[in-house]
Amino acid sequence: MPKSLTPRLAALRDEIHGHAKEFGLDFFDTIFEMVSYDEMNMVAAYGGFPTRYPHWRWGMEYEQLAKGYEYGLSKIYELVINNDPCYAYLMESNPEVDQKLVMAHVYGHCDFFKNNFSFRHTNRRMIDEMANHATRVRRWVDKIGVEKVEDFIDRTLSLENLIDQHAPHIRRNPDPRKAEDELKANERVEGFKVGREYMRGYINPSEFLDSQRKKVEDEKQRAKKFPERAQRDVLLFLLEEAPLEPWEADILAILRDEAYYFAPQGQTKIMNEGWASYWHSTIMTRRALRDDEIIDYADHHSGTMGTRPGAINPYKLGIELWRDIEERWNKGRFGKEWDECDDLRARRSWDKKLGAGREKIFEVRKHYNDITFIDTFLTPEFAMEQKLFVYGFNDKRNSWEILDREFRKVKNKLLQGLTNFGQPIIEVVDGNFENRSELLLTHRHDGQDLKGDYARETLRNLQSLWRRPVNILTRYDNKGTMLRFDGQSHSERKVDL
């Protein structure tokens, strides 16, 4: 069971809290709880929450985390939940310097959760909601049976990325009721043209006009596409249109809600971890560290910031880019004059002493996500300084090598990995494909082919929910390909795009 803080840690929490407020951080009330390493692994296996719906994967993730800790391969320093109030966990075996570091890091996360636009629509009572989800699933387990429920959850979890991560911020489709009202208002069936108004009732009786309206409506229904527009939220389409049992629809809605809750964390991983790391570094080095803690702090901080070729450390990339933005706006290294300066000596010594860096990073923290953050603020100078290159693995030499140093390719590689979490964009385009109630999806090809085994398993799981054959249109070798699963076997055929 989590424990409350000791008097000493409570005093340190108040101290770190004061430093965070002094620097301008704005966060929800934050509750810290003490846990053992075993309890930390259990909470981490649940995605940071104390309670989740019953499923075997939580035990699998716990085993992986526990073995990693026992063998000295990994260690969880902090867990914080986007909630109001925020909840964070401290491992009771950590030394005092680590507890202070974690508290400062947590306050950075909580500030980001509260103020970044990506989290504006998230449920701020998600701890309670997760407990409600667990209760609902357990009721279905008692009623339906654990094997059927777990099997359905297995299949649905393989589809949980088929959501529209931008849906909370935009309206892709018009309000259906409003659109229907406007359509009816614009409908005018006048019948035959008459020369005299008094003859209208004889030439166009109401029964005739009603039959004409029905004929027009039937024609529109036949011509109406289903769905009217390509729909990226595949899970919502299945909820609304698939022939699901009540228990299946309820569980699918639960998993979809949780997918949308976690989506902003994936959209802002670099910014969020970088922001929290920036503030734990600032608070610790300028306010909270004692002289005898500096070596331990530097050791643990540098371990978190370690990088290797071919992989991005969000902590390292994030903190360095935040620092770069602050320095650029402090020295005025932005705008038309800076962009047009081609004198390398002048650029190196450029300093207009604007001092606007801190204000700028708070502005960026509010209005950007990882894609816009990288796209707007990554510069050739920063990429060179941080050794950001396009890496590839050479099988002959059995080592990682630099494939490309060109800034545009480095930036595009980063952005490609961040777009839709680096996963393919799939949309529903027809729920009555070829008038056979089959489901047709399309892959918005961006240069990366679908992995064949992943695509086949996804089609299998979609078909189990749709109950009819499922098709997906994609491209291989720049040629159109239709993949299909009919419930029994997979098939593939070439099509014109």
Are the CB atoms for 165 and 263 separated by under 8 Å? yes
In a domain, 466, yes or no: yes
In a domain, 241, yes or no: no
Q: What's the token pair of residue 341?
A: 């300066």
- In this structure, the answer to whether residues 317 and 401 fall within a common structural domain is yes
In a domain, 342, yes or no: yes
pLDDT at 238 (0 to 100)? 97
pLDDT at 399 (0 to 100)? 78
Eight-class DSSP state of 198: G
Q: Among residues 398, 419, 440, which one ends one of the domains? A: 419
Cβ-based neighbours of 166, under 8 Å, separated by 6 or more: none
Q: Among residues 397, 419, 441, which one ends one of the domains? A: 419
- In this structure, the answer to whether residues 391 and 441 fall within a common structural domain is no
Query: Nearest 5°: CA angle at 28, between 22 and 29?
Result: 90
Name 476's bridge partners. 479
Q: Give me the residues of the chain with pLDDT under 50, please.
A: 183, 185-186
- In this structure, the answer to whether residues 287 and 343 fall within a common structural domain is no
- In this structure, the answer to whether residues 11 and 106 fall within a common structural domain is yes
What DSSP string runs through 232-251?
Answer: S-HHHHHHHHS---HHHHHH
pLDDT at 392 (0 to 100)? 78
pLDDT at 194 (0 to 100)? 60
Query: Which single residue is written with the structure tokens 């777990």?
Result: 150
Helix or strand holding residue 471 (H, E): strand 470-476
In a domain, 218, yes or no: no
In a domain, 249, yes or no: no
Eight-class DSSP state of 468: S
Q: Is 85 helix (H, G, I), strand (E, B) or coil?
A: coil
- In this structure, the answer to whether residues 488 and 392 fall within a common structural domain is no
Q: How far apart are CA 239 and CA 465, in angstroms?
A: 10
Q: How far apart are CA 157 and CA 265, in angstroms?
A: 18
Eight-class DSSP state of 5: P
Are the CB atoms for 112 and 276 separated by under 8 Å? yes
pLDDT at 333 (0 to 100)? 95
Exposed/middle/buried for residue 84 (C-beta within 10 Å: 0-12, 13-18, 19+): middle
For residue 249, which amino acid is it? A
In a domain, 211, yes or no: no
- In this structure, the answer to whether residues 414 and 430 fall within a common structural domain is no
- In this structure, the answer to whether residues 368 and 438 fall within a common structural domain is no
Question: Among candidates 89, 109, 99, which has minimal Cα distance to 38?
Answer: 89
- In this structure, the answer to whether residues 323 and 364 fall within a common structural domain is yes
Q: Among residues 419, 450, 478, which one ends one of the domains? A: 419
Q: How far apart are CA 23 and CA 21, in angstroms?
A: 5
Exposed/middle/buried for residue 181 (C-beta within 10 Å: 0-12, 13-18, 19+): exposed
- In this structure, the answer to whether residues 318 and 394 fall within a common structural domain is yes
- In this structure, the answer to whether residues 18 and 107 fall within a common structural domain is yes
Q: What's the token pair of residue 439?
A: 């489901």
In a domain, 240, yes or no: no
In a domain, 461, yes or no: yes
Query: Which single residue is written with the structure tokens 């959850």?
Result: 153
- In this structure, the answer to whether residues 337 and 294 fall within a common structural domain is no
Cβ-based neighbours of 130, under 8 Å, separated by 6 or more: 49, 51, 52, 258
Task: Tell me how far apart the terminal alpha carbons of the chain are, to the nearest angstrom.
Answer: 58
The tens digit of pLDDT for each residue in 87-130 reads: 999 999 999 999 999 999 999 999 999 999 999 999 999 999 99
What DSSP string runs through 25-52?
Answer: -----EEEEEE-HHHHHHHHHTTT-S--
Q: How far apart are CA 359 and CA 492, in angstroms?
A: 55
Cβ-based neighbours of 465, under 8 Å, separated by 6 or more: 155, 156, 159, 238, 242, 244, 248, 252
Are the CB atoms for 59 and 48 separated by under 8 Å? no
Eight-class DSSP state of 488: S
For residue 47, which amino acid is it? G
Specify the length of the chain in residues: 497
The tens digit of pLDDT for each residue in 440-485 reads: 999 999 888 999 999 999 999 999 999 999 999 999 988 999 999 9
- In this structure, the answer to whether residues 414 and 441 fall within a common structural domain is no
pLDDT at 186 (0 to 100)? 45
Query: Which single residue is written with the structure tokens 């109001």?
Result: 84
In the chain, the number of structural domains is 3
Domain of 81, in residue numbers: 7-127+267-300
pLDDT at 197 (0 to 100)? 59
Q: What's the token pair of residue 375?
A: 């796209």
Q: How far apart are CA 259 and CA 159, in angstroms?
A: 10
